[in-house]
Structure 1
Amino acid sequence: MFDRVQIKERAKAIYRSNVVKALVIGVVLWLVTEGNSGSTTEFNLSDSNDMVDAAQDSFYQLRSSHFWSLIPFAFAGYAIIRLLISVLISPVQTMLMYYYKDMSLGKESPNIMEVVQRGVFFKVAAVTILSAIGIGIATIFLVVPGIYLSYVWRYVGLIAVDHPEMSITEVFAESKRITMGYKFDLFVLDLSFIGWYIAVAVVSVISLGILGVIGGIALTPYTALSDVEAYNVLSLNFTESSEW
């Protein structure tokens, strides 16, 4: 049974018991997420608009020079770089989340390289990038379908690690299966952290961003552990040590 309160309480207990390890991974996860928002997890319209504005400014500056013909190559190079970053960071995010999953299951020595050792690094990259592309396209044209797909495909990365025998299509189908009937519960779980995000934003403004970074890093393990605990419940794939 999906119990949001119990899931968050369990996440807080795990966080307190593993505060140093959780924070170390939280720093990396925060840096990866903040540094690559819009390429692996969500489509950032403001980033897109900034990129268009920058491209227009560059075009007007270069139009009067002899280098205007290089613009298409610059865009192509930028697109390739973004794709390479997505390929690298998508599985890295899953590796970090899977570390939290092992921590939530009570493993004494979670292994951050488990995704690589299981031989699913590239499958994880494939499913996370495909899901990001699908969610991004849906969000561009219709916001609600994009949000819906983000919950349907929420756990494709973790499932790809847990079930290396599954094909890519089976991974997507399994994520759809375990979230069926629980997408609103997951939405409420995400929404329940809004107070923390507001608090982080406030202290960030007061401290000129310094405490905002610290607060964001400190909050990351809590939200990540809550997410993997929700996955454990939905997939019914947790050990006796993780039962409440």
Structure 2
Amino acid sequence: MNRVHLKQNAKEIVRRNYIPWLLVGIITIILSYANSQSQVSSEFDPVSFFDIRVRWLNLLQLILTVPLTRVAIDLTDGVYQNATDSLFRNAQWVRDIAAMIIVGIYTVLWTFLFIIPGVVKGYAYSMVPYILADDPEIGIADAIKLSQDMTYGYKIDLFIMDFSFVLWNIASALTFGLVGLYAVPYQNATWTQYYVYLSERNE
């Protein structure tokens, strides 16, 4: 897999449909921030752990993860028409939310063993939202197994790909998120490109 070529393709995909990618990116940033605030609150302030605003945003993250991934896949495959169609087409809300909860629990349990197994399993389960978004018929257990099969032998490469965005993330922090308006869509597009690559190899 040529990572440089993959990232170049991701840049071109974002360039062609920047606004939809930007909307996905902004929602991703908001939900990721809510998740980080939730983790900080739960560790240092037991009272604010029950902050309703944070809880609602966490719930939205569970609900929107797979639909937003479907938007990204449609944009990557060149079949995107509008956000409504991509978000709600073949939506399996109960399955998708349950799957993300299960994946979260599995990852946390592996992390309890040690940090490194948790990180490894995080990458092993990383394709689950893409698989669910791509296949409305697949079950949760099958999606998790398929994600582990797809990422077998590629976890280090996924880690390196993530690490390659470190400077983008630093620049985003230094510019109070301004650079993130391009960096987050670019990163999302790259991950989606990687999913397409792995899914084609798995056929």
Task: Confirm or deny a common fold (TM above 0.5).
Answer: yes
The 1:137/1:108 distance shift into structure 2, 3 A limit, reads closer
Does the 8 Å CA contact 2:76/2:189 hold for their aligned counterparts? Answer: yes
Q: Tell me which residue corresponds to 2:35.
A: 36
1:137 equivalent among 82, 87, 109: 109
Q: Tell me which residue corresponds to 2:181.
A: 217
CA offset at residue 152 of structure 1? 0.6
Does the 8 Å CA contact 2:92/2:136 hold for their aligned counterparts? Answer: yes
CA offset at residue 29 of structure 1? 1.8
CA offset at residue 83 of structure 1? 6.9
The 1:25/1:167 distance shift into structure 2, 3 A limit, reads closer
Does the 8 Å CA contact 1:103/1:110 hold for their aligned counterparts? Answer: no
Does the 8 Å CA contact 2:110/2:118 hold for their aligned counterparts? Answer: yes
Q: Tell me which residue corresponds to 2:25.
A: 26
Unmatched 5+ residue regions in structure 1?
A: 56-74, 204-210, 238-244
| Matching of residue 98 in structure 1 with residue 67 in structure 2 | no
1:149 equivalent among 108, 118, 121: 121
The 1:195/1:7 distance shift into structure 2, 3 A limit, reads same
Does the 8 Å CA contact 2:168/2:180 hold for their aligned counterparts? Answer: no
| Matching of residue 228 in structure 1 with residue 192 in structure 2 | yes
2:45 equivalent among 42, 51, 56: 51
Does the 8 Å CA contact 1:99/1:112 hold for their aligned counterparts? Answer: no
Does the 8 Å CA contact 1:102/1:110 hold for their aligned counterparts? Answer: no
2:45 alignment partner, SS class: helix
> RMSD in angstroms over aligned alpha carbons?
2.6
Task: Count the aligned residue pairs.
Answer: 201
Unmatched 5+ residue regions in structure 2?
A: none
Cα distance in structure 1, aligned partners of 2:116 and 2:60: 28
The 1:113/1:171 distance shift into structure 2, 3 A limit, reads same
TM-score, with length taken from structure 1: 0.73
Larger Rg: 1
Cα distance in structure 1, aligned partners of 2:166 and 2:77: 26
Cα distance in structure 1, aligned partners of 2:198 and 2:80: 23
TM-score, with length taken from structure 2: 0.86
